[in-house]
Amino acid sequence: MLVRASLGYLFFLFFMSFKITAQPLNTIVFAMHIEPPFSNIVDGIFIGENIDIANALAAKLNKKVSFVYCPPARCFALLQNGQADMMIAIRKTETRKQFLKYLEPPIKMQKLPLQFYIHADNKIELKSYEDLHSLNIGVLRGASYFDQFDQDPQLTKIPLTNYKQLVDMLLKGRIDTFLEREETITPWVDQEIYNTRIKIAKFAYDKTVGSYIAVSKKSVLANEITQLSQAVKDLSDNGELQAIINKVRN
Fold of 25-109+209-249: D-Maltodextrin-Binding Protein; domain 2 (3.40.190)
Least confident of 2-6, 77-81, 90-94, 140-144: 2-6
Average pLDDT, the chain: 90
Poorest-pLDDT segment among 18-22, 94-98, 131-135, 200-204: 18-22
Q: pTM here?
A: 0.83
**Which pLDDT does position 25 carry in this prediction?**
79
The 8-class DSSP code of residue 97 comes to G
- The CATH code of domain 112-205 reads 3.40.190.10
Three-state DSSP class for residue 160 = strand
Q: What is the pLDDT of residues 226-243, one digit of tens each?
A: 999 999 999 999 999 999
CA of residue 124 relative to chain centroid, distance: 30
Intervals of CATH 3.40.190.10 along the chain: 25-109+209-249, 112-205
pLDDT one-digit tens code per residue, 16-43: 333 334 345 799 999 999 999 999 999 9
Q: Rounded to whole angstroms, how far apart are CA atoms 244 and 52?
A: 7
pLDDT (mean) for 108-119:
93
Residue 188 has what pLDDT?
93
Give the 3-state secondary structure of residue 40. strand
Tell whether the model's pLDDT for residue 11 goes beyond 80. Answer: no
Cis peptide bond N-terminal to 71, omega within 30: no
One-letter-per-residue 3-state SS of 7-19: HHHHHHHHHHHHH
Q: Please give the average per-residue pLDDT across 55-62, as a whole number.
A: 97
pLDDT tens sequence across 166-219:
999 999 999 999 999 999 999 999 999 999 999 999 999 999 999 999 999 999
Mean pLDDT value of segment 58-80: 96
Mean pLDDT throughout 69-73?
95
Rounded to 5 degrees, φ, ψ at 117 are -105, 140
